[in-house]
Amino acid sequence: MKNIIIVVLLVAAVALGALFMSQQNKAKTQADQLAQAKEQLVAAEAQAKEQAVAAEKASLAETKAKILQDTLTETAASVVAQSNQVAELKLAQTNKPANPLAAMFKDPKMKEMIKTQQKMVMGPLIDKNYSALFKQLNLTPEQTASLKDLLQSKMLVGADMGMAMMDGSLDATKRAELGQQVKTDTEAYDAKIKALLGDDNNTAFQAYEKTVPDRMAISQFHDQLASTPDAMTPEQEQQLTQVLNEERTGFKWTTDYNNKTPPDGDYSKMFSEDKINTFATEKAQLDSQVLARVKPILTPQQFTSFETYQAQQRDMQIAGMKMAAQMFGH
């Protein structure tokens, strides 16, 4: 009985051993398969990643290509549009007159209207800026009226020249001739004024006339302050006028625009870009010299107002000169 049990146990053990070996072999096989499956999975993932990267690159390249194509298309369209604009601009420049203001100032009715307006402005201007001279010379009412007429006619000579210079067809020679004519007409009126006033009064007149630009500047500044608590006294006005005249007439200008008639009679040469820029620099220097001298004359509030007024006048003067340059074809 005992032997049977032993044999049964031995058979069972062998069977269990065989079963264990079988299961172990199966486990090893499954492990090998699992490892192989993992390797295949890793390889598949790597391949999938490479494919994804390649696809992304292909998509990016396609996008870039589309953007580039769109950019090239837009650029080409822009170039065409700009070319058309340039062509239209050239055509417009070819078709338009050299000076847009020329036609207007050639119109006789327009010229007459401008002259009428100028006379309306000049009358009060002469009364305001020459009244002190009329009193100084002790003229009769008839002499005063005659002098006013001569002064107005003399001023209109320059105004007429300005309108004539608007003619875009004028060349340098014709402009020089026109300038010389202005000089001749101005000298003729100066001779008439001298005949009216006599030698002594004419000398006083010429000295006074040199101060007129400064008197006009101070008169305008006076009007700005007249209705304010900072209104100037007559003594302040007289002192400011004297300072302005001394500094202005003593300043060494590269181009002296106070000399109303250029040596060769060609006014267009006075308004080149370089000369205007030089004038702007020199005018700022002159204004600084004036400010240094008038500071003791004015109150702090008046001085601040004068400094602002001075800068505004300088800007307006330079802007006017640039406009003149355009009118003269620069």
Instruction: Give pLDDT tens digits for 215-228.
Output: 999 999 999 999 89
Mean pLDDT of 144-154: 93
Say how far apart CA 49 and CA 102 lie, in whole Å.
77
Q: How far apart are CA 124 and CA 126, in angstroms?
A: 5
C-alpha dihedral, 126 to 132 to 135 to 136, nearest 10°: -120
Query: In whole angstroms, how far apart are CA 159 and each of 112, 152, 186, 212, 229?
Result: 12, 10, 12, 18, 38
Q: What separation, in Å, do the N-terminal and C-terminal C-alpha atoms of the chain show?
A: 139
234, two tokens: 């007559």
Burial of 82 (0-12, 13-18, 19+ CB in 10 A): exposed
pLDDT at 179: 76
Spatial separation of the C-alpha atoms in residues 216 and 130, rounded to whole Å: 10
Question: Comparing 40 with 127, which gets the higher pLDDT?
Answer: 127
Residues 6+ apart with CB under 8 A from 52: none
Residue 176's pLDDT band, with cuts at 50, 70 and 90, is confident
The residue among 288, 275, 287 whose CA lies nearest residue 322 is 275
Average pLDDT over residues 170-189: 81
| pTM for this predicted structure | 0.60
**204 touches 158 (CB < 8 A):** no
* Alpha carbon distances (Å) from 278 to 256, 287, 313, 315: 11, 14, 17, 14
Q: Which residues make Cβ contacts (< 8 Å) with residue 143, sequence separation at least 6? A: 196, 197
* 166 confidence band (pLDDT: 50, 70, 90): low
- For the cut 80, the answer to whether the pLDDT of residue 204 exceeds it is yes
Would you state the pLDDT for residue 11?
35
Stronger pLDDT, 84 or 203, i.e. the higher one: 203
The answer to which of 135-149, 180-194, 199-213, 263-277 has the lowest mean pLDDT is 263-277
Please give the average per-residue pLDDT across 43-48, as a whole number.
58
